[in-house]
Amino acid sequence: MPLLARYSDGTVAAIRDVVLAVDQSVAQPELIIADTTSYDEIDRWPLDKVFSLPSHQSELRVGVEDRPAGARLVFTGPEPVSVAHSIFPELHRYRRREAGRQLRILGFSTLALVSVIVAYVVGVPLIANRVTAVVPPQWEARLGDAAQGQIMQIIGAEGGFAVCDYDPQSLANAAIARFTAEVMDGTNSPFTPKIWMVKSEVPNAFALPGGSAFYFSALLDQTHSADEFAGVMAHELGHVVHRHGMEGLIASSATGLLVGFVLGDMTNISVAAAVGATLIDSRFSRDAEREADRFAAETAARLGFDPAALATLLERIARDDQMSQSLAFLSTHPLTAERRVALEAMARDATPSAHGPVFTDAEWRAIKSMCDRVVPSQMPRPDKTPSVRVQPMPSN
């Protein structure tokens, strides 16, 4: 039975049915392609130069080297396909070589991507740190200004934004300012932080790029001692000193780039990209929290307050929240138990200073009652407030 196939020469679209025969008489065996009716020879293909192409399971499609790229023989049906397979000796080798090549490329590019990710995870805090060092502090301050309105709107929507005490000369504000100056002393930070006590139902405190920090009244209500207060403040000022807001922004930009590469959506519009980026960024935030804790512990040793008080406050707030305990490794914050151990260890290593109490009893009482008589309607005008805030670095 003659071997039939569909033949196209790769130069004209006219396709024809051909009959095939193998010429073994020459040194390199050749496939003779001839017309089905006239048996006129059309072409001769060297058998060992024939390679197979991806095709439908019902057919075998082959091309040949040294002919136009579109030159094809197509065998259809099980019988012609198996005969064709036995004719072309190199077919399997070509196919295996191609499959091996694809596998190698896929394997190597995956390895390359893995090493990029590992390098990223290890290196991004370093990169973010270095880049932050060259970002002018004015940029960071402007970044704060840009989102000032946003933060106020968010807090305002929760039932009114109000600064507890506007008077910078009041006992409480003067004490906070003195404490802030003592904390910042010797840190070489380009910023002069200002801490705002703000009326809010959310127990939180956070630092903003550019230097300032918010301390919410609900957190103040849960703060039972001056040392706890000092601990939270020192922690937030640690974010300011280490410019974590800026680092976080740089890190999340880099993460977006990486996740976009993995998922193939550089616009990061898809939900998958957003979730992926958040998961990676949370790890970075936790490193920042540890660094701020370390700063707080060092400050505590230097100024002579109890570094573990910060952990005591954190535990008080988190106590009722079993869910947050079990999912803490996912959140931006390390487990409070872990933080307590770390804080206490750091406190043990430090040499306690002879510095007196950070706040006098009168000062602490004034601070504690700062937000007691605030009417939540005094929304400060954005242009009056100093150049700071934005990109909350949620903390506590």
Partner 1 sequence: MPQQSGTLVQFSGKRGELFGRLLRGYLLMLPTLGLYRFWLTTTKRRFYWQNTAIGGDRLEYTGSAVQLLVGFLFALGIFLPIYLVFFYLSFQSSTIATVGYGAAALLLWFLSGYAIYRGRDFRLSRTLWRGIRFDQRGSALGYAIRRFFWSLLVLVTGGLAFPFMAGNLWRYRYTHTWFGDRQFSFAGSWKTVAWPFYRAWLVFAVCAGLVILAFTFAPGADARIASIGWGTLVLIPVAGLCFLYYRSRETSRMFSAVKLGGASVDIRVKARSLLGQYLLYGVCLLGALIVMGIVGFAIAQMFNSSLRGGDFSAANIARAGWVGLVLGAGGYLATLSAFTLLGEVFIDCGFWMLVSRYATITNLESLDDVRATGEDRSVAGEGLADALNVGSF
Nearer residue to partner 1 within complex by CB, 201 or 265: 265
State in angstroms the smallest separation of the CB of 89 from partner 1: 23
Closest to 307 in 3D by CA, of 341, 354, 333: 341
Taking the least distance from each CB to partner 1, the nearer of 133 and 269 is 269
Nearer to partner 1, 11 or 369 (CB): 11
Q: Minimum distance from CB of 193 to partner 1 (Å)?
A: 19
Smallest separation, CB 249 to partner 1 (Å): 7
For residue 174, report the phi and psi dihedrals to the nearest 5 degrees: -65, -40
Evaluate whether 246 touches 140 at the Cβ level (below 8 Å). yes
> Which residues face 196 on adjacent strands?
214
CA distance linking residue 51 with residue 364, whole number of Å: 85
Shortest Cβ distance from residue 114 to partner 1 (Å)? 7
Query: Where does residue 318 fall: left (phi above 0), alpha (psi -120 to 50 degrees), or beta otherwise?
Result: alpha
Q: Are strands 213-216 and 195-199 parallel, antiparallel or unpaired?
A: parallel
Select 211 or 376, whichever has its Cβ closest to partner 1.
Answer: 211
In this complex, which beta carbon is closest to partner 1, that of residue 256 or of residue 307?
256
**Separation between Cα atoms, residue 172 and residue 365, nearest integer Å:** 8
Nearest approach in angstroms of CB 186 to partner 1 is 28
Which is closer to partner 1, CB of 70 or CB of 352? 70
User: Which residue, 291, 148, 55, is CA-closest to 299?
Assistant: 291
Element (H, E) at 62: strand 59-64
Contact 389, 210 (CB under 8 A): yes
Least distance (Å) between residue 276 CB and partner 1: 10
**Helical segments of 186-321, H only:** 217-222, 226-241, 244-263, 271-303, 308-318
Q: What is the smallest separation between the CB atom of 382 and partner 1, expressed in angstroms?
A: 10
Nearer to partner 1 by Cβ, of 12 and 26: the residue is 12
Return the structure tokens found at 277: 């980026």
Residues interacting with partner 1, by CB under 8 A?
A: 6, 8-15, 53-56, 59, 61, 68-72, 74, 102, 105-106, 109-110, 113-114, 117, 135, 139-140, 142-143, 145-147, 149, 249-250, 253, 256-257, 260-267, 269-272, 275, 322, 325-330, 337
User: CA end-to-end span of the chain, whole Å?
Assistant: 85
133: helix, coil or strand?
helix
